[in-house]
Structure 1
Amino acid sequence: MIKFILNEHSVSTDVHPGITVLDFIRYHKRLMGTKIGCREGDCGACTVLVGETVNEKLSYHSVTSCLMPLGNAAGKHIVTIEGINAHDLTPVQEAFANEGATQCGFCTPGFIVSLTGYCISEKTPGYHSAIDAMNGNICRCTGYKSIERAAKTITDNLQQRKQPALDYAIAQKIVPAYFRDIPKRLELLGTPINEKNEVARKMGGGTDLYVQQHDRLHHEDLNFLRQDDELNKITRLQDTCYMGAAVTVSQLAESAVFKNAFANWDHYIKLVSSTQIRNMATVAGNFINASPIGDFTILFLALQAQIKLNHAGADRILPLQQLYLGYKKLNKEPEEIITEIIFKLPGRNDLFNFEKVSKRTHLDIASVNSAMHIQMNAGKIVYAALSAGGVGPVPAYLSKSSDFLKDKEASIDTLRALLKMVQSEISPISDARGQADYKRLLLAQLVKAHFITFFPGLPVDKIVALPA
């Protein structure tokens, strides 16, 4: 039995936990305000809010309900567009109406829900952060300027806030008064019971699986890893980070451990998917998906990450670079699951960079991506790790290129030789993301970008991208 709160009503259901939240709220609860658009998490028309208690504090985040399994709703507060309205238009809805920010109206519920979620978050109010909150919502007919004006109206209002975000939102009728009782009601629901079945399929965020296997997952036995608190922790012990397999990308984005260790962490995060997807997608899921261009797979390969695999109580540690045997072929038993990701955090003398090229700057799959981690001492590179995606059948750790850099000076000659070495280690193919030669050129440019970031004084522009 799955128990949660849907808008202001308590729900107990024995509907299969593999059904999506979108299908449950529309077909089982007849709440039609949440729209069916792409069913791939791209358009945001199906956006809902998910409220949950974390460290004894209630917080809300937006998700695309077309990719969220009902099992992950257990013990949470799910808010649809119907749950935001009491009787009259809310200030967010009024702002959209007054600025002409809706035309056909199909996308409007998703925008309203996303912006309302922003209003009840504790983030410092600001126009740009409000726009970021809607970065997973697409409008096909109105144009975005009117939506941006509506967002500015709302953020100007939020600037006056002098009390906790939720209290202010209730007072301003941004959300109904029943929100005030949700923490106690969630407490009464208790901790969700995640019945562990060794033969059941293990589910993290589901953001990739539900794109590929939507109907099949409605009937499979599933275990929901997001319900396991032990898999949702990020811990630092000295210079080593231990990260649970169910940690989401948004948890990484907000983690002080990562922000302190990586100077450009916020920039890297914005290159990966939308807010709604980041709120669900897990890093371990990115690993297991085994895409040759998985952004976090490439990033963590350059950090020489290890994964802890578990089956029937037995653990084994495997370097991430040894997980991939061939295209979508993994060095693990079907019953084994990742429980932990382990890696050393960059130190003071370390340099790290992640680069990505895609058809769109944001919210797109990479054509080619790359990460590089080096350590310097007395002007020499004493350690290097270079990874690349989109240039072979598996996410690539470029071991020869990494080893080549050891004990080399950071010079144009070193970079020129490195570019030749990199080309010898990759085998891109021509596909929808680009021709093979184009991908070779892209990776060469990304390696140059690493050097530009690390050594801004080097005249990198004098080097041709693809050496003869």
Structure 2
Amino acid sequence: MIRFILNNKTIKTSEHSGMTLLDFVRYEQRLTGTKIGCREGDCGACTVLVGTLNGNIIEYQSITSCISPLGNAHGKHIVTVEGTNLKDKLTTAQEAMKANYATQCGFCTPGFVVALTGFALSNSNKTYSKALDAISGNICRCTGYKSIEKAAYQVVKKLENQDKNSFKWLIDNGFIPEYFKGIPQRLKDIEAESLKQPKGKYVAGGTDLYVQQADNLIDNSVHLIQEKNFLKGIEINSGICSIGANATVTDLWNHSELNRYFPKLKKHLKLVSSEQIRNMASFGGNLVNASPIGDMTIFFLALNSDIIIVNPDGKERQLPLKEFYKDYKTYDLKDGELIKTISFKLPTTNSNFNFEKVCKRTHLDIASVNSAIHISIDHETIKEAHVSIGGVAAIPKYLHETSAFLKGKLLTSEIILKANEILQNEISPISDVRGSSDYKRLLARQLFFAHFTELFPKQFTLNDFVQHA
């Protein structure tokens, strides 16, 4: 039995746990404000909030309900646009959209309202840029974004005097209805009841599987693993970072210590999907998706990561991530096995990390080519280098030969140019909808050079490479 709170109503349902949350909300509960758009998590019309109890505090995040399994709602507070409504007036987010003429056909409006409400409920800094991040996964096809951006700005201005983490302040100022105050205690009554899991296909966040296999997952048993504690968390010990396979990009984004080790971490992660997807997609899922252009896979390959794999009996084995992939969508994972953790050495004062990505639009898009590098320098000598690249081979590509060539060499433009020649021999791009093979080779070259101009701007400019390449 799946139990959760939907707006102000406690839900008990025996519906299939693989059913999408969107379909349950619309067709079983008749809450049709949550719209069906792309069914791929791209447009944000189906945005809802998920409130998760953490001790005595409830934390809210926005997700796209069209690719989220119903079973993942167990023990949570799910908020649709109807659940944000006040009795006799518009909420602050609704009023901001109205006052700035930020809606025309209205189809996308509920998603924007829910996302802005989630922003108000979040622990993030209440800045205009953060508000725009919050609605980054919401697409409008007719209004134009300036009026929506003005609405977001109006919400931010009203939040300037907010009492931190205060439901009372948000209720008093018209952001959320009064029933939110009682949700933490109501969730405690549900939390103790674990969801019984059938045998079936493992599903974590579902953001890839539900795009490709939604009909199959709805009709067959799924084994939901998003809430398994042994797959959660981020730990740092003795210069090693270990990340649970169920951790999300948002977990990485919010980790203050990792942001000190990776000063440009948020800049890199902002290139990964939208806020709604970053809130729900797991790293383990990204790795076993085995997409040749998986952003976080390329990220972790350049960090020379290891993975721990666990079988149903609890037996573990460790494997370098660069040895995990065998061929297109083929990897070293036996039946019943799960990736448990991803671990890597943290950057030091002598090492640098960079991630680059090119796609048809800057954000919310699949890469044409992406690349990352982790390089250690001592007295102008490259002591260690790990380079990865996506979109140019059948697998997410760790560049063994290029990385080995760089090790022990002086950091000069001549060496980098020679390394690019080796890189070009290591890759084998094909022509597809994201570009021709020649175009991808050009991108691979430019991104490789970009790593050095970004990390060592006083030493290199793009002209140092392009005129000789």
Which amino acid in 2 is paired with 1:190?
A: E
Write the distance in 1 (CA, Å) between the matches of 2:460 and 2:10.
64
Which amino acid in 2 is paired with 1:304?
A: N
Write the distance in 2 (CA, Å) between the matches of 1:89 and 1:462.
55
- Counting only pairs closer than 5 Å after superposition, residues 61-210 of structure 1 correspond to structure 2 as 61-87=61-87, 88-197=89-198, 199-210=199-210
Tell me the residue number matched to 2:263.
263
Q: 2:250–2:279: 8 Å Cα contact kept in structure 1?
A: yes
Tell me the residue number matched to 1:282.
282
Once the two structures are TM-superposed, the CA of residue 38 in structure 1 deviates from its matched residue by: 0.5
Q: 2:74–2:195: 8 Å Cα contact kept in structure 1?
A: no
Write the distance in 2 (CA, Å) between the matches of 1:163 and 1:398.
46
Tell me the residue number matched to 2:431.
430
Q: 2:413–2:465: 8 Å Cα contact kept in structure 1?
A: no
Write the distance in 2 (CA, Å) between the matches of 1:163 and 1:195.
37
Tell me the residue number matched to 1:57.
57
- SS where residue 139 of structure 2 aligns? coil
1:303 is the counterpart of 2:296: no
- SS where residue 63 of structure 1 aligns? strand
Tell me the residue number matched to 1:218.
218
- SS where residue 227 of structure 1 aligns? coil
Which amino acid in 2 is paired with 1:419?
A: N
Once the two structures are TM-superposed, the CA of residue 380 in structure 1 deviates from its matched residue by: 0.5
Tell me the residue number matched to 1:349.
350
Write the distance in 2 (CA, Å) between the matches of 1:186 and 1:127.
32
C-alpha spacing 1:297/1:466, structure 2 compared with 1 (3 Å): farther
TM-score normalised to structure 1 length: 0.97
C-alpha spacing 1:439/1:467, structure 2 compared with 1 (3 Å): farther
- SS where residue 356 of structure 2 aligns? strand
Write the distance in 1 (CA, Å) between the matches of 2:182 and 2:339.
37
What do residues 58-112 of structure 1 show as CA deviations (whole Å, max 9, x unaligned)?
1101000001101110000000011011322112111111111111000000000
Write the distance in 2 (CA, Å) between the matches of 1:146 and 1:260.
36
Once the two structures are TM-superposed, the CA of residue 334 in structure 1 deviates from its matched residue by: 2.6
Once the two structures are TM-superposed, the CA of residue 194 in structure 1 deviates from its matched residue by: 4.2
Once the two structures are TM-superposed, the CA of residue 389 in structure 1 deviates from its matched residue by: 0.3
Write the distance in 2 (CA, Å) between the matches of 1:161 and 1:213.
43
- SS where residue 101 of structure 1 aligns? coil
Percent identity between the aligned chains? 48
Q: Tell me whether 166-175 or 281-290 shows the greater mean CA deviation.
A: 166-175
1:366 is the counterpart of 2:367: yes
What do residues 88-140 of structure 1 show as CA deviations (whole Å, max 9, x unaligned)?
21121111111111110000000000001111223222212111110000110
Write the distance in 2 (CA, Å) between the matches of 1:263 and 1:94.
37
1:331 is the counterpart of 2:345: no
- SS where residue 179 of structure 1 aligns? helix
Q: Tell me whether 169-178 or 271-280 shows the greater mean CA deviation.
A: 169-178
CA RMSD of aligned residues (A): 1.4
Which amino acid in 2 is paired with 1:362?
A: H
- SS where residue 257 of structure 1 aligns? helix
1:448 is the counterpart of 2:449: yes
Tell me the residue number matched to 1:379.
380
Once the two structures are TM-superposed, the CA of residue 53 in structure 1 deviates from its matched residue by: 1.2
Once the two structures are TM-superposed, the CA of residue 260 in structure 1 deviates from its matched residue by: 1.8
Q: Tell me whether 222-231 or 382-391 shows the greater mean CA deviation.
A: 222-231
Q: 1:245–1:284: 8 Å Cα contact kept in structure 2?
A: yes
Once the two structures are TM-superposed, the CA of residue 457 in structure 1 deviates from its matched residue by: 2.5
Once the two structures are TM-superposed, the CA of residue 56 in structure 1 deviates from its matched residue by: 3.6
Once the two structures are TM-superposed, the CA of residue 467 in structure 1 deviates from its matched residue by: 6.5
TM-score normalised to structure 2 length: 0.97
Q: Tell me whether 164-173 or 74-83 shows the greater mean CA deviation.
A: 164-173
Which amino acid in 1 is paired with 2:278?
A: R
Q: 1:47–1:114: 8 Å Cα contact kept in structure 2?
A: yes
Q: 1:51–1:58: 8 Å Cα contact kept in structure 2?
A: yes
Q: Tell me whether 134-143 or 250-259 shows the greater mean CA deviation.
A: 250-259
Once the two structures are TM-superposed, the CA of residue 354 in structure 1 deviates from its matched residue by: 0.5
C-alpha spacing 1:466/1:193, structure 2 compared with 1 (3 Å): farther
Q: 2:452–2:460: 8 Å Cα contact kept in structure 1?
A: no
Once the two structures are TM-superposed, the CA of residue 374 in structure 1 deviates from its matched residue by: 0.9
Q: 1:194–1:227: 8 Å Cα contact kept in structure 2?
A: no
1:252 is the counterpart of 2:249: no
Tell me the residue number matched to 2:389.
388
- SS where residue 188 of structure 2 aligns? helix
Write the distance in 2 (CA, Å) between the matches of 1:459 and 1:300.
26
Tell me the residue number matched to 2:228.
228
Q: 2:49–2:118: 8 Å Cα contact kept in structure 1?
A: yes
Once the two structures are TM-superposed, the CA of residue 464 in structure 1 deviates from its matched residue by: 5.0
Q: Which runs of 5+ in 1 are unaligned?
A: none
Once the two structures are TM-superposed, the CA of residue 196 in structure 1 deviates from its matched residue by: 4.9
Write the distance in 1 (CA, Å) between the matches of 2:118 and 2:302.
35
Which amino acid in 2 is paired with 1:103?
A: Q
**Number of residues of Structure 1 aligned to a counterpart in Structure 2:** 467
Q: Tell me whether 161-170 or 233-242 shows the greater mean CA deviation.
A: 161-170
Which amino acid in 2 is paired with 1:156?
A: K
Once the two structures are TM-superposed, the CA of residue 163 in structure 1 deviates from its matched residue by: 5.0
Q: 1:21–1:69: 8 Å Cα contact kept in structure 2?
A: yes
What do residues 162-196 of structure 1 show as CA deviations (whole Å, max 9, x unaligned)?
35342211111211100000110001112352435
- Counting only pairs closer than 5 Å after superposition, residues 394-409 of structure 1 correspond to structure 2 as 394-409=395-410
